[in-house]
Amino acid sequence: MITQATRDRWDDFVRVVEEDSDPEGRWLVMTHDNPDPDSLAAAAILARVLVHRFGRKTTCAYGGIIGRAENREMVRTLGLKLSHIRYLSWKNYAHFALVDAQPGSGNNQLPRKIAPDVVVDHHPLRRGIPRGRFVDVRTDYGATATIAAEYLALSEAGTTRALATATVYAIRSETLDFQRESPGPDKQLYDELLPQVDKRALAKIQNAPLPVEYFRNLHAALESLETVETLIVSHLGIVEHPDIVPEIADLLLRMEGKTWSLCTGVYGDRVYLSIRTTNVRADAGRLMRKLVGRNGKGGGHGMLAGGWVAITPGYAENPHTLQRQLARRLAQALRKSPERFEDLDLQAAIAASG
């Protein structure tokens, strides 16, 4: 499945890749930090295009950690080849591509002094950021992997069973099985690739063994619930990896009677936060940018968003104060009274409902 939008951009993409002053120069394809399935799949797909269509030497890299059990299993089971950016030297690469991320967004390791040659993303185009030589940002797509897969199809480089599986899982994960994105190119590609999927591998990814830390974080999340009207909030303490924050936010949104969820967690010198909503007309990305302000970075689109806020010296001893302030800022933005926040005692709530 190749949309006209991809066909219209293909010549420009080819020109950028083929007009290398040094065709032997190696490409670095980068995900956003703590990559999710969409970013992982998109990077692997774009790398295949560069290698098999253009013969370019290519490395895929990420910053942060691959923390979520399903994401680690995805990399292991499908044999995705990625390097951590800490083990690489910028001087060894002549060309750079960002997938599922944009320069200057604060969620990737690309230095500001380097302008990427290629940017492929499905989040809103950021204002005032240096743009790459080739930029393809489509907010009407549910997953960046879908955009990358169209380039792969047009390149005639051919897909693999592993890449088909990665793409299908990325689309399912990013759209919550199309609950939070409208069908369209993503669903068409999903249906086209589904017969090629390694179903056993997909099952292993979706049912990856969960470490004990996951259940500790889940317990902490349920013990720290607070709510105001249709907003449910949970503040985690120090977490082993930031991926757990959006995972808990997804889970909280399934609570009956809630249409907005916020989860925060402390990792390193930052508070990470994720917003989720069932409101199809919402702009969670705009809300996130408003929440983090100048002390952090954030973004998203439609019904989900993520970001981080630096823990300044005034909050170093008690970051929970900052977490609570962020929640009250969100409540205010949603026109809910921050003063009406109350702790949610699950045992009492269950007893009352019985």
For the whole prediction, is pTM greater than 0.85?
Answer: yes
- Check: CB of residue 119 under 8 Å from CB of residue 135: yes
12 and 148 inside one domain: yes
Could you read off the pLDDT of 81-107 as tens digits, one per residue? 999 999 999 999 999 999 999 998 888
**Which of 86-95, 251-260, 344-353 is predicted with the least confidence, judged by mean pLDDT?**
344-353
Q: State residue 170's pLDDT score.
A: 97
Distance CA 245, CA 326 (A): 14
60 and 95 inside one domain: yes
| Interval 278-295 mean pLDDT | 91
196 and 331 inside one domain: no
Long-range Cβ contacts of 116-125 (<8 Å, 24+ apart) = 117/16, 117/17, 117/27, 118/13, 118/16, 118/17, 118/46, 120/42, 120/46, 120/144, 120/147, 120/148, 120/151, 122/146, 122/147, 122/301, 123/285, 123/299, 123/300, 123/301, 124/285, 124/299, 124/301
User: Would the pLDDT of 348 be above 80?
Assistant: no
Q: Kindly indicate the confidence band of residue 334, based on its pLDDT and cuts at 50, 70 and 90.
A: very high
User: Would the pLDDT of 181 be above 70?
Assistant: no
Most confident listed range (125-134, 206-215, 291-300): 206-215
Q: State residue 94's pLDDT score.
A: 94
Overall domain count for the chain: 2
161 and 225 inside one domain: no
User: Would the pLDDT of 351 be above 70?
Assistant: no
For 9, counting Cβ atoms within 10 Å of its Cβ (0-12 exposed, 13-18 middle, 19+ buried), the class is buried
At 315, is the secondary structure helix, strand, or coil? helix
285 and 325 inside one domain: yes
202 and 217 inside one domain: no
Q: Kindly indicate the confidence band of residue 37, based on its pLDDT and cuts at 50, 70 and 90.
A: very high
Q: State residue 347's pLDDT score.
A: 75
300 and 163 inside one domain: no
Distance CA 121, CA 146 (A): 10
Q: State residue 130's pLDDT score.
A: 63
176 and 125 inside one domain: yes
Q: State residue 171's pLDDT score.
A: 96
269 and 178 inside one domain: no
Of the residues 206, 227, 254, which one is the last residue of a structural domain? 206
Find the domain containing 110 and state its range.
4-206
Q: What does the mean pLDDT of the chain come to?
A: 92
Distance CA 303, CA 128 (A): 24
Could you read off the pLDDT of 303-328 as tens digits, one per residue? 899 999 999 998 998 999 999 999 99
58 and 194 inside one domain: yes
99 and 190 inside one domain: yes
Could you read off the pLDDT of 139-171 as tens digits, one per residue? 999 999 999 999 999 999 999 999 999 999 999
Q: Kindly indicate the confidence band of residue 129, based on its pLDDT and cuts at 50, 70 and 90.
A: low
Distance CA 32, CA 335 (A): 32
Query: Higher-confidence residue: 19 or 111?
Result: 111
Of the residues 206, 229, 256, which one is the last residue of a structural domain? 206
Q: State residue 217's pLDDT score.
A: 94
Here the CATH number for the domain that contains residue 252 is: 3.10.310.40
